[in-house]
A and B are shown apart, each in its own frame.
Chain A
């Protein structure tokens, strides 16, 4: 595949533009990224010693298909600001972070982290940023203790022995992991492991920090502890960064500004208040009911005064759904919605008017729910 890059003139033009702009920690202009879609050979599979033979056979027999992961992302993060990146699974949030962390080569566009070009100055970008999160970012060795793991990463980032010892002790104390310093990750709880990952972020202290879904998989207490730490120690110390999440509460509580991403694009950006206000004159109805058939949702959408109607599961037992309705007013429309549902035999458990949330912003722009 030939990667088409912008010409030097285009980049120089953007550099001129950037130089007159306010101080940004992260910038992305027109960033695009496509992936080859490999049918029939999931990337996580291995077929023994001759995997390369199987893979080559399948690869050359099948036609290549492309999936556009980033479709022209424009994004800026000011110095000292934590930008929330909100969006459903598959929106391109992690892909964007990978591009900014120099792990993915962008196809077109430019991006800068701490003023360094992610394509031309990757070494400087890596020194400027730290990436933390669960899943593919939780790269601690399970055979090493918490302390040994932090020593390892501290050394990779050039900390001296004295610096490492001092920062590890301080960080573990702050995070309440001091007594677990000589334990190994498998013996820690999920919340403790997540805090261990954040310890890496705080110990290393780069100007920019990327947090990829830091509260995923945590219980409410664990998520609260992690949010407290991010607010107090990262945001409070002036670290700039991007926090990706599909939890609106994380975005609203931790981030000065939020960008909403869908299908590889930023569809809305601003402070949480600005975004909610952008929903405009929409009123929001939250209906809890038995599972609503698709044709009934369509019928609700077609009602006069309804702008959008989307469903999502509510509760763990699958017996209840949440139907979120954006409507012109709260006078006649709620009754029309209730009548439509009743006529279709759907039992309504509750119906309440709510303040627009960030998810409503997403619904307004995409006509879908985030989850």
Chain B
């Protein structure tokens, strides 16, 4: 082996600059194809109107009475928070798929950006898009549908719930992205995403309290982190300690908020390393089998 020509490893600042350039790239592309992006955003508006109009009829369910804005606030906070969590779940997969089908994956992996930076960068734009959609839901809800901004809440508590929730969901997202190469899930969805999104949209309390579901399916809610995330964040936002909790959580000797945070922290501690392992294993398998790109 010969003596190498000295090279300069990327500093932390340069790695962060590389991450930021991915976000800038996604933002440039979003704003470049304006018509297409506006069309996508109108989809969010459509969702907002549909769910808000249904919620406006209102309900006298005790689980919702603790929320100042009633069912509208329940639904719109569920919708907004779900958009955020879904983008964390689907971001890695969608980012990887976009670079796969646009033939960019190899040239990006051949650059000095390391794997964590690579997948974070590819996902970053999706979070930006999600934040814009969240703003549309909340501002639109406030302007047109009677959404009341949370006033009795605790922002710090909210973040204490949000951070482990995002980490947990990102771990699941990485596992899903790993399925691209582990299971050839190249068609638009992976099994992890499918399972988590299907379960969470129905039973995690996004659109209605879990207690509304038949008892035979309520147990599913304990499987997904979104249940604890939505419950915890609503409690933190609305100061609604009186909100009824799912039965198992209600039976614990701690406050539901504490239970939510603890479960999320454990979930994050397990999901993130496991998800990362699966993702990295998938990428290594692709490198070994020669399936990184569409070109063999």
Please give the residue numbers on chain A whose beta carbons come within 8 Å of chain B beta carbons, in ascending order. 1, 3, 14-15, 18-19, 21-25, 27, 33, 35-36, 43-44, 46-52, 55-56, 59, 69, 79, 95, 98, 101-105, 112, 114-117, 123-124, 126-129, 131, 135-139, 141, 143-144, 148, 151-153, 155-158, 206-207
A36 partner residues in chain B, CB cutoff 8 A: 289-290
**Segment touching A, from B102-110, B230-238, B252-260:** B102-110
B59-67, B137-145, B148-156, B186-194: which one contacts chain A? Answer: B186-194
Name 10 extra pairs, CB < 8 A, besides A114-B7, A136-B294. Answer: A18-B2, A79-B5, A95-B290, A101-B106, A103-B106, A103-B292, A137-B106, A137-B107, A139-B103, A141-B104
Task: Quote the shortest CB–CB distance from B29 to chain A (angstroms).
Answer: 5
In whole Å, how far is A341's beta carbon from the nearest beta carbon of chain B?
Answer: 39
Tell me the complex Cα distance, A194–B16, Å.
Answer: 30
Could you tell me if A127 and B9 are in contact, using CB atoms closer than 8 angstroms? yes
Taking CB atoms, residues of chain B closer than 8 Å to A3 are 288
CB distance from A26 to the nearest CB of B (A): 10
> Do the beta carbons of A27 and B110 come within 8 Å of each other?
no
- Which chain B residue has the least Cβ–Cβ distance from A159? B14
**B113 A156 Cβ-Cβ under 8 A:** yes
Contacts A/B (CB < 8 Å), 6 sampled: A51-B185, A98-B106, A114-B4, A131-B107, A136-B293, A137-B107
Q: Which of B17-25, B199-207, B211-219 is the interface stretch?
A: B17-25
The reply to whether B2 and A51 form a contact with Cβ atoms under 8 Å apart is no
Chain A residues, CB < 8 A from B289: 1, 35-36
A59, A105, A138: residue with the most chain B Cβ atoms closer than 10 Å: A105
- B8's contact among A1, A35, A47, A127, by CB below 8 Å, is which? A127
With A127-B112, A141-B25, A143-B28 given, is the CB distance from A1 to B288 under 8 Å?
A: yes
A49 in complex: contacting residue of B32, B102, B103, B189, CB < 8 Å: B189
Q: Which residues of A contact B101 (CB under 8 A)?
A: 46
Complex Cα distance, B1 from A23, in Å, reads 9
* In contact, A115 and B1 (Cβ under 8 angstroms): yes
Which B residues from 94 to 129 make CB contacts under 8 A with A?
101-104, 106-114
Q: Which residues of B contact A56 (CB under 8 A)?
A: 183-184
A227 CB → nearest B CB, Å = 23
In the assembled complex, which residues on chain A have CB atoms less than 8 Å from the CB atom of B187?
46-52
Docked Cα-Cα span, A148 to B26, in Å, equals 12
Task: Verify B287–A105 contact, CB threshold 8 A.
Answer: yes
- In the docked arrangement, what's the CA distance between A46 and B190, Å? 12
B33 touches A (CB below 8 Å)? yes
Most buried by B among A23, A123, A207: A123
Within the complex, which residue of B2, B102, B179, B293 is in contact with A52, where a contact is CB–CB below 8 Å? B179
Main secondary structure of the interface of B (DSSP, over half): loop
Q: In the complex, what's the smallest C-beta–C-beta distance from A61 to chain B, in angstroms?
A: 14
Partner of B112, one of A22, A25, A46, A157: A157
Across the interface, which residues of B come within 8 angstroms of A141, CB to CB?
A: 25, 29, 104
B10 within 8 A of A: yes
Q: How long is the Cα–Cα vector from A217 to B103 in the complex, in angstroms?
A: 18
A22 to chain B, nearest CB (A): 8
Assuming A103-B287, A143-B29, is B5 touching A114 (CB within 8 A)?
A: yes
Q: Tell me if B1 and A156 are in contact (CB < 8 A).
A: no
Q: 1/0 per residue B243-276: CB within 8 Å of A? A: 0000000000000000000000000000000000
- B97: nearest residue on chain A (CB-CB)? A46
Q: Which of A117, A123, A155 lies in contact with B21, CB distance below 8 A?
A: A155
Q: Nearest B residue to A151 by beta-carbon distance?
A: B21
In this complex, what residue of B is CB-closest to A26?
A: B2
Find out whether the CB atom of B110 lies under 8 angstroms from the CB atom of A101: yes
Hey, which chain B residues are within 8 Å of A152, CB to CB? 21, 25
- How far apart sit A206 and B184, CA to CA, in the bound complex (Å)? 34
CB contacts (< 8 Å) of A158 on chain B: these are: 8, 10-11, 14, 18, 112
B residues 75-109 near A (Cβ < 8 Å) are 101-104, 106-109
The reply to whether B28 and A144 contact each other, CB–CB distance below 8 Å, is yes
Return chain A residues, CB-CB under 8 Å to B17.
155
Interface centre among A19, A51, A115 (most CB of B within 10 A): A51
User: Considering the chains assembled together, what is the distance between the CA atoms of A73 and B36 in angstroms?
Assistant: 48
Alpha-carbon gap, A152 to B121, bound state (A): 12
Residues on the B chain within 8 Å of A135, using CB: 103, 295
- CB pair B18 A155 closer than 8 Å: yes
Contact status of A139 and B108, CB under 8 A, knowing A24-B2, A156-B113: yes
Contact among A43, A69, A114, A155 with B291 in the assembled complex (CB-CB below 8 Å): A43
A55 touches B184 (CB 8 A): yes
Least CB distance, B84 to chain A, in whole angstroms? 23
Say how far A56's CB is from chain B's closest CB, in angstroms.
Answer: 6
State in angstroms the CA–CA spacing of A278 and B100 once bound together: 44
Whether A105 pairs with B284 at a CB distance below 8 angstroms is yes
A-side contacts of B191, CB under 8 Å:
52
Q: Is the C-beta of B39 less than 8 angstroms from some C-beta in chain A? A: no
User: Which residues from chain A contact B28 at a C-beta distance below 8 Å?
Assistant: 143-144, 148
A156: which B residues are within 8 A, CB to CB? Answer: 18, 21, 108, 111-113
- Whole-angstrom distance from the CB of B92 to the nearest CB of chain A? 16
For the complex of A and B, 8 pairs with smallest distance between CB atoms = A51-B187, A115-B4, A55-B184, A139-B107, A52-B185, A18-B1, A49-B189, A139-B104
For window 159-213 of B, CB contacts with A under 8 Å fall at 179, 183-191, 194
Contacts of A144 in B (CB 8 A): 25, 28-29, 32
Residue numbers in A under 8 Å from B32 (CB-CB) = 143-144
Contact between A43 and B7 (Cβ–Cβ < 8 Å)?
no
Docked-complex contact A104 and B10, CB < 8 angstroms: no
Q: Which of B11, B110, B190 has the most CB of A within 10 A?
A: B110
